[in-house]
Structure 1
């Protein structure tokens, strides 16, 4: 047995989110996201900045109205998933809707994909993106006060690895991966190419810090059991370390539908983020 009593076939299935949802269903979801992303890109105030020399070192910034909610003084950044080896920021622009309606800026981070980049290189790119984003926001919004980083799946892993970066106030990991060992042992490693040293160095489950900003951990109860377990175990580890962590178990959501709770202005995840931001937001 390779991992937690699973052989290679079982382990591959345990992390195959498209197969679990069904390819026709996923294709329909992705087409819907793409259409909604095109709509908001044409209707909202969108600019793109670069944070490095790589082709994919880019960040979308949707600027909120100064007349609503947090008046554009706080930002939610998002890191997309795709098991570090697929997807792009353009597909996830639809997520900006909820943040903008709440008066929050929305930043959408892209990064170099495996196998063209190592896991360590990807983590470093996200660190560069966060630092660049903070500098940019402070330059264009003089009273900008708070950056909340969020991410889905592989993006949830990248949130957990960069939560302690300077300028990050809090974070949200949605359906994240916190122990990389099953990824190394599964079909996914054909492209991600993790080594045992990568697993030891970049698994948040094995690096619980002494201090950390608050983290929301969310997953759908209709997800694959291994994805649910990863979130549960990481929350337990943070809680044991007396770190601020809130676990959201969202019934009826699978690995992809859960993102509607961030896109919707009244979504459960977005409301939790707003509540967290409100508790730490400087008085005007």
Structure 2
């Protein structure tokens, strides 16, 4: 039975299974953890800043110094796995250019529904706004979705959404929903592609080696943004990168995503 874009359940599950599509994804993620632990030891200025009462309502800060611009990063994992601590290694790229970085944690599904996760990101941004002022926002995979959802927050000046999910209808119909538990109404109100375009610049980035559905999500979202606000937003395709390797372009001071963040933030 066709569920979505002429795919049955098995094909739809495979179309969004990034871990299965990248043979060494588990090794890559383990490497992220090791690199993150090293950077947290040497460069973190404040770990586990609380912004709410839930266990994961914490922020890790890597501060360059007073007056530096801030990039806030939201981790991925289909809203149901991974943690901010797995992604600290990404701070290396922005830090090299005088950009402070904050990593936001949030409650995972099924403990919290997506509406609640989106609300937690807003609360984290409230906290950071009080502490450091305006910020730029970024995220990967599910974190890119949460970035797009949070673009309307008054503290956010612009965004960089990497390898994201912007239409949640296929999430509702595939294996991801076993824990996410989206119903149709929740999927619609949390789908950036169905919402008004943000009045701030958003860079939508994806890898040319990602699963076709992941690539389509980014391109379709950018087209929706362009139809509402021509010329305000940007689409960045990084050939040769899969869903996991693309993050090396932010971890590296010379990476394409680091340069995209610099352009977005006006940092040279």
TM-score (norm 1): 0.91
Q: Deviations over 1:63-120 (max 9, x none)?
A: 1146xxxxx5200000000000000011100011111111111000000000000000
Deviation at 1:30, TM superposition (A): 1.2
Task: Name the SS for the 2:266 alignment partner.
Answer: helix
Task: Name the SS for the 2:60 alignment partner.
Answer: strand
Query: 1:44 — aligned with what?
Result: 43
Query: 2:63 — aligned with what?
Result: 63
> How many correspondences in the alignment?
265
Structure 2 spans left out of the alignment, 5+ residues: none
Mapped partners of 2:193, 2:246: distance in 1: 22
Deviation at 1:225, TM superposition (A): 0.2
Mapped partners of 2:120, 2:159: distance in 1: 17
Deviation at 1:45, TM superposition (A): 3.5
Mapped partners of 1:83, 1:45: distance in 2: 26
Task: Name the SS for the 1:178 alignment partner.
Answer: coil
Q: Deviations over 1:137-157 (max 9, x none)?
A: 14xxxxxxx411000000000
Mapped partners of 2:22, 2:26: distance in 1: 10
Task: Name the SS for the 1:169 alignment partner.
Answer: strand
Mapped partners of 2:7, 2:199: distance in 1: 33
Mapped partners of 1:178, 1:33: distance in 2: 25
Mapped partners of 2:196, 2:141: distance in 1: 19
Query: 1:129 — aligned with what?
Result: 124
1:53 aligns with 2:56: no
Task: Name the SS for the 1:151 alignment partner.
Answer: strand
Query: 1:142 — aligned with what?
Result: none
Task: Name the SS for the 1:261 alignment partner.
Answer: helix
Structure 1 segment 102-251 matched on structure 2, within 5 A: 102-138=97-133, 146-209=134-197, 211-242=198-229, 244-251=232-239
Mapped partners of 2:44, 2:166: distance in 1: 34
1:76 aligns with 2:75: no
Mapped partners of 1:185, 1:273: distance in 2: 33
Deviation at 1:192, TM superposition (A): 0.5
**Is the 1:208–1:237 Cα contact (8 Å) retained in structure 2?**
no
Query: 1:275 — aligned with what?
Result: 263
Deviation at 1:208, TM superposition (A): 2.3
Task: Name the SS for the 2:109 alignment partner.
Answer: coil
Deviation at 1:32, TM superposition (A): 1.2
Task: Name the SS for the 2:4 alignment partner.
Answer: coil
Mapped partners of 2:258, 2:176: distance in 1: 30
**Is the 2:113–2:181 Cα contact (8 Å) retained in structure 1?**
yes
After TM superposition, where is structure 1 displaced by more than 3 Å over at least 4 residues in a row?
none
**Is the 1:65–1:100 Cα contact (8 Å) retained in structure 2?**
no
Deviation at 1:50, TM superposition (A): 0.6
TM-score (norm 2): 0.96
